[in-house]
Structure 1
Amino acid sequence: MDLEDEAGARREAVFTEIWRDNGWGGAESRSGPGSGVARTEPFRAALEAFLARVRPRLVYDAPCGDWCWMRHVRLPEGAAYLGADIVSPMIAELNARDARPGVAFTTADVVAADPPAEADVWLCRESLFHLTLADAVRVVERWRASKIEWFLATTTPTVGLNAEMTTGGWRRLNLALAPFPLGPPLEVLPDAAPADPAKVVGVWRRA
């Protein structure tokens, strides 16, 4: 096993343990408090409006978590959904329970795996702030190297310096600052939380 494979195996082990043990303490979702249905209501409304405007063929939601809140999002007519996550037993449960025509789930490590070429929107909500800076930047670079037009990711504009952290922890990130190669988002979708009232989902578009 090379170093990249070892790093991927460590990420998988960390996030699988968090899911199994409800390590983030979510009352509704083992993906954490930010994945509850009531908590995501403002963001879901804004996301539906955004998707209705850009009319994607495929929404790539990665990491998708346990699909607690996303199942309530109404996609535009004709749009398909692909959820991806590194936690393979969770993906197996989702495929057994929720997969249907137009809705699919797959196991993928967003740090190491290229996104699907046919996607138009990559939703990467509440993910990068659980990764090391190097891994978070690798995710962004995979979007920049892809043909996906839109990238939506959690960001906190009030953060003045992006701090380092171990995989599976949490800290606020400002994706408009170094080391991220994004710049300011074109628009923001509301997604405030009690622990981070300035948090939003930024929207970036390929040039």
Structure 2
Amino acid sequence: MLEVSDIRTFYGNIEALKGVSLVVQEGEIVTLIGSNGAGKSTTLRSISGLSPPREGSIRFEGSEIGETAPQEIVQMGISQSPEGRKCFQRMTVRENLELGAYLRRDTAQIQQDLARVFDLFPRLEERERQKAGTMSGGEQQMLAIGRALMAQPRLLLLDEPSMGIAPVLVERIYETIEEINRQGTTILLVEQNANFALGVSKRAYVLETGKVALTDDSAALRDNPDVQKAYLGG
């Protein structure tokens, strides 16, 4: 479904990604783990078109998208829930969700997808008319994921969904991520909470200073002594 080949992405003259390659097959949950500054979020931004790579190739369902505009990438079937949630604070929950479908014109299906998001995240339905900025961090994370789903992605990019939220809500969000995947959406997950990420994903890549240092099945990485020491508190 997604094939990233030797991409190099820069911020000014600073090389953030130094030849990253990865593959995501349809139906998988694949995770990227690594410390702060390893290049995890930049990898997602490169895929979504927000920080296009200077070199290398990104192919989605056979089409090259490395130089494609972000809105066109959304229309092709890739949607991102960004790091830090980035909800529109003065807009209601419903308005934020409807904004996720701004490129769509299929009104009836949009309403069905809205109902699906409310089914996945009942708390959002309870707070449908509440301003996003008045909700907790965990609730805003639910909203950010729901907004991304409103674009009807076949590939969902999730950037740090557990960041800054209560542990009890982290578990709830990860249960929902697994349910989204069971319903047919492929997921590429960036996460510092390696325990959760390796628990829900099939395969994983470890990024270090802009390069892929290690890749394997998630279960094997959880048992890897180096990964345990660096990322799992072992």
**TM-score normalised by L of structure 1:** 0.30
- Which structure has the larger Rg over C-alpha atoms? 2
Point out the structure with the larger helix share: 2
Point out the structure with the larger strand share: 2
Instruction: Name the structure, 1 or 2, with higher relative contact order (CA <8 Å, separation 6+).
Output: 2
